Amino acid sequence: MEAKITAAKQKQSINNAFASKFAKSMFLTISGLILLSFIGTRMFTHVDLNLYGYMVGTIVFIGGFFYRFIAWGERPPTKIIIKKGLKLLFRKSTPKTSVEQLATYNFIWNRGLYRWTQHILMGWGCIISCLVTFPLVFGWMYFTMPENGYYTVVGMGIDIMTIKADGALGYLFYNALNISAIMVIAGVCMALYRRLKNMQARAEQNFIYDFLPLYLLLFISVTGLALTFQNMVLAGWGHSVMSLIHQYSVIVTLIYLPFGKLAHIPFRPLSVFARNYREHYGEQSMKECKVCGTEFVSSEQSNDVVEVLGMNHMEFKKEDHHLAELCLPCRRKYRISVFSGFPTHEVKVKEANQNAKG
């Protein structure tokens, strides 16, 4: 008992050293990055100052991300998902769910092949570019040339492999960012085409929130390819200017990313928590709609919704049931009945499009 009290006091004293959870998270993350860079660069002996701007932009991005995540994570519904999601993280289905949600994007497949291809190109294009850029920026990976015609790949200060400078593997390493840029450009163009041609998309979206992030990704990818073109075709002409333009565009995007639509990219892994939550409690007990009797969510989720609404002093209890105990079609019909005066929520007829995909 005394050991538990001592541990609790130590934890409390550590937390009191910081002004907020945001400050604590930022301090620990930046300290971890510095430590990893110290190890990866062999005590800062291999630092590329040309990447300094990207490093500053990344640190600002991390600050914005923690600010946004902590503000979002403090909400009662999010707390429930994170708390219960962590408990369910080691389910047998978690690896499969992670692949479907984070790698193959199966949740997009139901919306059509076009949109799935668009997300695969943009998603994996961004992932590949991050896997290449961030290790280079923080010095976790770099290349040395111990002898003419060969490169040594160094990761976290350890010589990993030696490759031919003009070999196939070397070609893939050098052009990884070019490949990812082409993928992002193709995906962005598909997204822009759909947003401009699809009438529903045009009606629901605006320039700042929906189009600007796509233009930023497009600009970064085009300027990145322009650097390669200038080096290979123009013998480096205009490289310094284009390098600054590309660097500024990346930094601006990193600073903007946590506060716009692109924030769903770093938040995406939490979809595994939500999926595990729905599947686990759905297997235990399903909630039947109080009107039509259809099983629509797990009993646990229905109870959590009622609890969260109560925390926010929002009561939606009507007659002998709570609105959270109605399926979506019956809930919509109930709202119609409030305005029309006709008890449509009692009509046991389903909507024609209630099972529509997309």
Q: pLDDT tens digit string along 220-276?
A: 999 999 999 998 888 888 888 998 999 999 999 999 988 888 888 888 888 888 888
Q: Is the pLDDT of residue 116 over 70?
A: yes
Q: What pLDDT sits at residue 358?
A: 37
CA count, 13 A, side-chain hemisphere, 119: 20
Quick one: average pLDDT of 112-122? 92
Q: Could you tell me where the beta strands, DSSP code E, fall in the chain? A: 141-147, 150-155, 158-164, 286-288, 295-298, 317-318, 321-322
In percent, how much of the chain has pLDDT > 70?
87
Burial 293-310 (b: 16+ CB within 10 A, else e): ebebbbbbbbbbbbebbe
- Residue 226 backbone phi and psi in degrees, to 5: -65, -35
Nearest by Cα to 319 from 309, 334, 304, 305: 334
Q: pLDDT tens digit string along 78-100?
A: 888 888 888 888 888 888 988 98
- CB 289, CB 300: distance < 8 Å: no
Q: Is the pLDDT of residue 22 over 80?
A: no
> Where along the chain do its domains lie?
21-64+92-257, 285-346
